[in-house]
Chain A
């Protein structure tokens, strides 16, 4: 898997590169700002770009703009956005069109090496990753007539994992249940929440997030 890293802190950039290298990923691009990445994107064949959301020169929205830019110009390249803050608004902006090959994670997650490498691989292969903080914010959101109240605790766990971008297999592994059971839960949840079945797993993420957002 070919990876690009855009991060203005040298310490983190190199730490990240060695971590991914140790895990067997190919970090072929390292740069400290978005413009550099844009240039290199044209000459390198990448699977995933890891983008810090706060980038020079102004440290305002350069990272987000770069991520959306890559999504538009290189739809085949996954984008994993790292941020010090988890903002629901930013997650929704990032996922606005599709959740395919998109990730939005709290920067701390990089220390959980195995999970982080798995997340990079998932985004790199067209999957989605949404930080648990975003999902729990959405799930704990107060609602007037909460449709989530109709879910069983198990269904709630499955919903949470779906929202984080897990595949059915991922959910089955995580909860230690069969794939068949996961499918049953998913269809029950969709039924209870009145959501139309979406087919693809990454489209499912967006549907669930959009539902939880309101």
Chain B
């Protein structure tokens, strides 16, 4: 078996969260960047409306740094947070073009259009921080190539009044053409990004919360505006400045959506509440997977159970499951108990970015799985107990049958043979009256012995039940009852012997109770087969209030009936008669 690629254990600690110092460092660096941009703008000789420009720059960069910092604190495993921080700082670099010349200006100029590529990457990398598909990687790489490569090429051809140190020649015409190509291609790439985004949103492995999804889609519009802005720049539209400001406002708000999407996309108290409720109402194995899949919004989620005795993983249906290797699309989260693996969640890797959710879900699953395991164990024990109880009853029954048979074939037959001999002897003593009288007395003794042995044998096992069935056996029982009994037996054919014997005892014990305790004037015995059960009912019109624990033999009857998987119920309200009902499964 391959070693599973572990994303988390059950206990995920906060140790991996970035330290407070790193947080402060980011804040400090952000402040320095903001102040630097303000100072650069202040000293700039080439900047119109410096306050506005500084404000716009900070508006489009600081939110990314802040949101990135928060995101990497809340989601230490997500790469999206650091990506946002990096994007914010890189975008700051473009402020260097406000300097008056030389290397800083050239550097700022070189990074002038980089934010377009960075934004594209951010939008496409949300929420995992990775560009999962080839098409995304191609679009973003091309954007970087255009934003940097074409920009640098352009800068080789244009010295911008000597401020650009990279300029080899000064051919503004050619530079403008290159710039048009650069802006146009970035615009097209932005639109391509929008297309990829829209297609991908529909194919997310799990749906985002509707509101967040809507926000993210709305901010995808930022990319459209960016595309429009780039085209406007290329064609030198008069509305360029207005479009630029609107676009920048949008760019500045986008991190909020990202943050919302990252932090609360899936984890919410209601999700976990739903999960627990679902696990409670569907304790079966399939229910656990279903509930987890819903709570984690990952339809592909698999729940694998560890079978220690076989050393393998299986799904809810007992089919073997291979835990994925590290390089597959699925990530494994182990659920263990006392260090022993118990179950494993096979889920989409993006879930690894949300350790709290995964932890909570794993914990809930652990409870459910443990619960389920205990249930299964209990069921197995009950089955075992039931089985052994039945075997004990069956063994006792066989033993009783054997004893009865031995008595019948042995003592009873011999006594009858003896009685027969005595009879013949008596006949041969025609004239000896005294001897005849003694033989007759001996015969009576033998007859009484026979009667007693017969009673004992019948008490041990009612042979007539096994021999001739319940209906025949009940006839004598009812005829000898101490009150008038109406008997109704609705059975077609014989039942398994142990059921017939149990039913016989239910009737015989109940009728004996009617005679001893009920003071009834009539009773009714009903035996029928209904819905896979042999139902035996004995009802009397006596005084009721029978003691079901002592003296009535009802406890023993209940044991006998329950050992066969049946149920014995007794209604005995004072003054309203007694009803004994046995239900014996006979599927």
The tally of CB-CB contacts under 8 A between chains A and B is: 107
B285 interface residue, CB < 8 Å from A? no
Q: Which among A19, A84, A137, A213 is the interface contact of B408 at CB below 8 angstroms?
A: A84
Judge whether A12 and B479 touch: CB under 8 Å. no
The DSSP consensus for interface residues of chain A is helix
Judge whether A54 and B420 touch: CB under 8 Å. no
Judge whether A15 and B421 touch: CB under 8 Å. yes
> 1/0 per residue B413-431: CB within 8 Å of A?
1101101111110110000
Contacts of A19 in B (CB 8 A): 420, 423-424
Binds B, one of A109-117, A149-157, A178-186: A109-117
Judge whether B426 and A113 touch: CB under 8 Å. yes
Binds A, one of B96-104, B371-379, B468-476: B468-476
Contacts of A107 in B (CB 8 A): 416
From residue 81 to 96 of chain A, which have CB atoms closer than 8 A to chain B? 84-90, 92-93
Contacts of A161 in B (CB 8 A): none
Q: Which among B423, B458, B471 is the interface contact of A111 at CB below 8 angstroms?
A: B423
Q: How large is the interface on B (under 10, 10 to 19, 20 to 34, 35 or more residues)?
A: 35 or more
Which partner residue on chain A sits nearest B474 by CB separation?
A89
Q: Which among B420, B466, B472, B522 is the interface contact of A110 at CB below 8 angstroms?
A: B420
- Expressed in whole angstroms, the Cα–Cα distance for A188 and B60 within the complex equals 123
B450 interface residue, CB < 8 Å from A? yes
**Smallest Cβ distance from A89 to chain B, in angstroms?**
3
**Smallest Cβ distance from B480 to chain A, in angstroms?**
6
Q: A22-B424, A84-B454 are in contact. Are A108 and B416 (CB under 8 A)?
A: yes
A73 interface residue, CB < 8 Å from B? no
From residue 1 to 47 of chain A, which have CB atoms closer than 8 A to chain B? 9, 11-12, 15-16, 18-19, 22
Which partner residue on chain A sits nearest B412 by CB separation?
A84
Binds A, one of B227-235, B244-252, B338-346, B481-489: B481-489
B70 interface residue, CB < 8 Å from A? no
A138 interface residue, CB < 8 Å from B? yes
Q: A11-B417, A89-B473, A89-B476 are in contact. Are A111 and B422 (CB under 8 A)?
A: yes
Contacts of A74 in B (CB 8 A): none
Q: Which among B414, B424, B476 is the interface contact of A18 at CB below 8 angstroms?
A: B424
Judge whether B416 and A144 touch: CB under 8 Å. no
B314 interface residue, CB < 8 Å from A? no
Q: Which among A86, A89, A113, A142 is the interface contact of B424 at CB below 8 angstroms?
A: A113
Contacts of B421 in A (CB 8 A): 15
Q: Which among A61, A111, A114, A213 is the interface contact of B416 at CB below 8 angstroms?
A: A111
Instruction: Kindly list the 5 A-B residue pairs having the minimum CB-CB distance in the complex, ordered from nearest.
Output: A89-B472, A89-B475, A111-B423, A111-B419, A60-B467
- Expressed in whole angstroms, the Cα–Cα distance for A139 and B60 within the complex equals 111
- Expressed in whole angstroms, the Cα–Cα distance for A87 and B458 within the complex equals 12
- Expressed in whole angstroms, the Cα–Cα distance for A92 and B481 within the complex equals 18
Which partner residue on chain A sits nearest B408 by CB separation?
A84
A59 interface residue, CB < 8 Å from B? yes
Q: Which among A54, A86, A141 is the interface contact of B467 at CB below 8 angstroms?
A: A54
**Smallest Cβ distance from A14 to chain B, in angstroms?**
9
Judge whether B413 and A12 touch: CB under 8 Å. yes
Which partner residue on chain A sits nearest B480 by CB separation?
A137
B447 interface residue, CB < 8 Å from A? yes
Q: A87-B472, A93-B472, A108-B450 are in contact. Are A9 and B419 (CB under 8 A)?
A: no
Contacts of A87 in B (CB 8 A): 464, 468, 472-473, 475-476
From residue 519 to 573 of chain B, which have CB atoms closer than 8 A to chain A? 521-522
Which partner residue on chain A sits nearest B476 by CB separation?
A88
Contacts of B483 in A (CB 8 A): 142
**Smallest Cβ distance from B524 to chain A, in angstroms?**
12
Contacts of A111 in B (CB 8 A): 416, 419-420, 422-423, 443, 446-447
Judge whether A143 and B473 touch: CB under 8 Å. no
Q: A9-B417, A142-B481 are in contact. Are A54 and B408 (CB under 8 A)?
A: yes
- Expressed in whole angstroms, the Cα–Cα distance for A64 and B447 within the complex equals 24
**Known pairs A85-B454, A89-B476. 13 more at Cβ < 8 A?**
A9-B409, A53-B467, A84-B408, A88-B479, A90-B468, A92-B475, A108-B450, A110-B416, A111-B447, A112-B423, A113-B423, A113-B426, A137-B476
- Expressed in whole angstroms, the Cα–Cα distance for A137 and B471 within the complex equals 17
Contacts of A90 in B (CB 8 A): 464, 468, 472
Which of A16, A54, A113, A142 counts the most B-chain CB atoms under 10 A from its CB? Answer: A142
B389 interface residue, CB < 8 Å from A? no
Contacts of A143 in B (CB 8 A): 484
> 1/0 per residue B197-215: CB within 8 Å of A?
0000000000000000000
Judge whether A60 and B466 touch: CB under 8 Å. yes
- Expressed in whole angstroms, the Cα–Cα distance for A99 and B285 within the complex equals 66
Which partner residue on chain A sits nearest B464 by CB separation?
A87
Judge whether A113 and B427 touch: CB under 8 Å. yes
B163 interface residue, CB < 8 Å from A? no
Which partner residue on chain A sits nearest B468 by CB separation?
A61
28 contacts between A and B (CB under 8 A): A11-B414, A12-B420, A22-B424, A54-B408, A84-B412, A84-B454, A85-B463, A85-B464, A87-B476, A88-B475, A88-B479, A89-B464, A89-B468, A89-B475, A90-B464, A90-B472, A92-B475, A108-B447, A110-B423, A111-B423, A112-B423, A113-B423, A113-B426, A113-B427, A114-B427, A137-B480, A142-B482, A143-B484
Judge whether B476 and A108 touch: CB under 8 Å. no
- Expressed in whole angstroms, the Cα–Cα distance for A143 and B481 within the complex equals 11
- Expressed in whole angstroms, the Cα–Cα distance for A62 and B522 within the complex equals 36
Judge whether A15 and B472 touch: CB under 8 Å. no
From residue 399 to 419 of chain B, which have CB atoms closer than 8 A to chain A? 405, 408-409, 412-414, 416-417, 419
- Expressed in whole angstroms, the Cα–Cα distance for A24 and B262 within the complex equals 112
**Smallest Cβ distance from B210 to chain A, in angstroms?**
74
Contacts of A92 in B (CB 8 A): 475
